[in-house]
Amino acid sequence: MAVDPITSQVIQNRLSGIVQEMQNNIFRTGYSTIVRESQDASCMILDSEGEVVGEHVILPLHIAALPEVVKAIKKVYSGRIFPGDAFITNHPYVSGVTHSIDMAVVIPVFIGDALIAYCASIAHKSDLGGMVPGTGSGNARELFQEGIQYPPVKFMDQGKVVEEVEAILRANSRTPDVIMGDIRGQVGTGRLGEERLKEVVSRYGLEVVLETFSDLQLKVERRVRSVIASWNDGTFEAETWVDNDGIQLDVPIKYHVRIEKSGERILFDFSESAPQTLGPLNVRPPLVRGCCYYAMVAMIDPELPNNGGLARVIETKFRHGSVLDPIYPAPTNTYMASATAVTEAVLQAMNGLVPEKKIAGMGGVGGMVIGGKRKDGSSYVQYELIGAAYGARNGKDGVSGVSVLLDNAKTAPIEVLETEFPVRLRRFELITDSGGAGQYRGGLAVRREYEILTSKAQLTLRGGKHTEPAFGVDGGMPGRLGACIINPDSEGSRDLPSRFGGEELKEGDVLRIEKAGGGGLGPLSERAWEKLLGDVLDGYVSFQSAQSDYGADPEKLKSAIAAWNGEE
């Protein structure tokens, strides 16, 4: 039986609507700043095989993780999944979870005795144990240092909370109330999805809904294949670099892709990437595939549903023991830097297929955690994700101060941070000249400066681009490097690398984080005068740089600035 295109569209809209409802619910009820302020959480509906059928993307990488999670649950619990169950897991190897500080919560959906779908969510947690507050240490050398690992287990068994599991969760977190509040919210969110999906089934009939599940994937698969077929055949390569793995600070890590495109097939071969790292830069293949999905959607049509159909088209090849296919139990907690670097390599290589879309390097990603005790003795974990900058795109400057590519975290409000944590923000500003110069300028990065207001705290950074800048394209310049400095402009000033864990901070210390700027695109001499002048007026480009990098005539610039300021 074929479902007509109209019913199919109707059900697709409904599924996406349900996921939006779930998403709203998770943020509104969230307890941790990472969920409610940074919105590091995604929801999804998957079919009984674990393929995505309903999505409303918040964080693109989560899309790749949840199918693996569901498949792991099916494997472990085959024949023992019942209505009212709720599964949790955070295991990067067993369940394909992004990193072990993300917790997936999965609710099976039954119609009668038939398990027809899963409503799932994945959300960052404030702390699940491990070496440092916030769990993920940039110095971790194996998975076991990255918090407690939960393979798929039942958090709820046929409607009842499994008290032993809750007790273990609570006993292994520095912030038990916060993580339980968030997990409760995730379970409630899954139940909401379950209820809504059942309404859809009772409205349209089970057969039609199931048929639509496979139909939606088939449509995407066909469309993607036909777009691929329209591209020229060939082999395209690109590579990108990340500073270091947090352990061997002088060894940059290489990410390499070779795309082989032939007819309607496309293969992404990553086998020439660096060996797996001692430190936590490793990222597992399902997530690298997620990077490929993202790049394909971005290049083909940002409105393309990112469902199981896309997964069927993408072929990938990895070398076991490489940074992109690490051997258990290699650490993975700063995987996001790798995922971003891989995506940039893929986008660059795809430029051979889609020559009209060019993008310079991004200012990178990364989280920062300060944790310790407040003066009243209570523990806290201040978890922040701070956006960096986009590289320039052909025809457009890069975006300043924004999460890039697969990352989409919101920057936490200063007023929330200062109210909840012993910290004061001294600076939060765009960094002049941080965007790579070019005909199209890279986006500007931000600088954040914190004063520590408690006697003892630990700092963990999962940053990047302290030594490998965002690359420029077609004559554009690289972006400015990032930095992490304790007590800058003072005698005891110390520079820290882009990833580490557990650096001790004391009261009165000043922590300066500088994100990296985006790369520029096109020759500097082609920069439009009005844009250059605007940048100088706005303080995005210094007078100095306009003169020495862009070659602007200083007298002309001076008189234009004076004219704008209303001076004669």
Partner 1 sequence: MSWLVGIDTGGTFTDLAAVDTETGKICTVKVPSIPANPAQAVMNSIEQLVAEYPVSWSDTDLLAHGTTVATNAILEGKGARAGLFINRGLGAIYPMRAGMHPTGPDLIDPYYTKPPELVSRALTREIRGRIGFDGQELEPLEREDVVRSALELKEQGVNSIAVCYLFSFVNPSHEQATREIISEVFPQCRVSISSDVLPVIREYPRLSTTVLDAYVGPVVSEYLEELASRLGNAGLNTQRFYIMQSSGGLKRMSLAVRYPNETLLSGPAAGVVFCQKLSEQSGFGNLLTFDMGGTSADMSVLLDGEVEETREGSIAGQDLGTPMIQIRTIGSGGGSIAFLGKDGLLKVGPESAGAVPGPACYGRGGTLPTVTDANVVLGYLSVDNFLGGRMAGNADLALKALSGLSREVRIDEVALAQGILKIVDTQMAVGLRMALMERGADPRDFVLVAFGGSGPVHAVRLGRELGIDKVLIPRFPGIACSMGLLNTVVKYVYLQSFITRFNSADPSAIAEGFEELRAKAMNDFRVEGLSNESSELAYQLDVRYPRQGYELSVDLGSRDGLPIIDLESTRERFHSQHHGYYGSSAPDEEPEIVNLRLVLRGELPQMKWSDPEVEPGDLLKGHRDAWFDSAGKYLSTPVYYRSRLAPGVQVDGPAIIEQTDSATILDPDSYLVVDNFGNLVIHLSGNVKG
Within positions 221 to 250, which residues make up the interface with partner 1, using CB under 8 A? 222-223
CA distance 546 to 551: 6
* Minimum gap (Å) between residue 340 Cβ and partner 1: 12
Q: Total residues at the site for partner 1 (CB under 8 A)?
A: 92
Choices 132-140, 155-163, 299-307, 484-492 (CB under 8 A): range interacting with partner 1: 299-307
Q: Which is nearer to partner 1, 37 or 211 (CB)?
A: 37
Quick one: which of 73, 128, 298, 342 contacts partner 1 (CB under 8 A)?
A: 298
And the tokens for 536?
Answer: 């100088």
> DSSP string covering 200-245, please?
HHHHH-HHHHHHHHHHHHHHHHHHHHHHHHHSPPEEEEEEEEES--
Quick one: which of 52, 347, 511, 524 contacts partner 1 (CB under 8 A)?
A: 347
CA distance 397 to 550: 15
Task: Please report whether residue 318 would count as binding partner 1 according to CB under 8 A.
Answer: no
Amino acid at the residue 355: P
Task: Please report whether residue 297 would count as binding partner 1 according to CB under 8 A.
Answer: yes
Task: Please report whether residue 178 would count as binding partner 1 according to CB under 8 A.
Answer: yes
* Minimum gap (Å) between residue 551 Cβ and partner 1: 22
Residue 482 in 3-state DSSP?
A: coil
Using CB under 8 A as the binding rule, the residues of this chain from 29 to 58 that contact partner 1 are 29-33, 36-37, 39, 56-58
Choices 2-10, 64-72, 238-246, 467-475 (CB under 8 A): range interacting with partner 1: 2-10
Task: Please report whether residue 320 would count as binding partner 1 according to CB under 8 A.
Answer: no
CA distance 332 to 151: 16
Q: At a CB cut-off of 8 Å and minimum separation 6, what does 212 contact?
A: 3, 7, 8, 11, 12, 204
Choices 385-393, 467-475, 481-489, 496-504 (CB under 8 A): range interacting with partner 1: 385-393
The β-bridge relationship of strands 52-54 and 456-462 is: unpaired
Quick one: which of 157, 449, 474, 549 contacts partner 1 (CB under 8 A)?
A: 449
CA distance 534 to 511: 31
Task: Please report whether residue 171 would count as binding partner 1 according to CB under 8 A.
Answer: no
Using CB under 8 A as the binding rule, the residues of this chain from 502 to 541 that contact partner 1 are 537-540
* Minimum gap (Å) between residue 299 Cβ and partner 1: 8
Residue 177: Cβ within 10 Å count: 11
And the tokens for 552?
Answer: 């602007």
Of 300, 245, 312, nearest to 273 by C-alpha is: 245
Q: What share of the chain is helix, strand, coil (3-state, %, to 5)?
A: 35, 25, 45
Task: Please report whether residue 184 would count as binding partner 1 according to CB under 8 A.
Answer: yes
* Minimum gap (Å) between residue 90 Cβ and partner 1: 20
Cis peptide leading into 92, omega within 30 of 0?
A: no
* Minimum gap (Å) between residue 59 Cβ and partner 1: 9
The β-bridge relationship of strands 265-269 and 314-317 is: parallel
Quick one: which of 176, 188, 252, 352 contacts partner 1 (CB under 8 A)?
A: 188
CA distance 216 to 431: 45
Quick one: which of 213, 294, 380, 500 contacts partner 1 (CB under 8 A)?
A: 294
* Minimum gap (Å) between residue 506 Cβ and partner 1: 20
Task: Please report whether residue 28 would count as binding partner 1 according to CB under 8 A.
Answer: yes
CA distance 188 to 186: 5
Quick one: which of 151, 168, 204, 219 contacts partner 1 (CB under 8 A)?
A: 219
Residue 489: Cβ within 10 Å count: 8
Choices 129-137, 284-292, 443-451, 497-505 (CB under 8 A): range interacting with partner 1: 443-451
Using CB under 8 A as the binding rule, the residues of this chain from 70 to 109 that contact partner 1 are none
The β-bridge relationship of strands 446-452 and 510-514 is: antiparallel
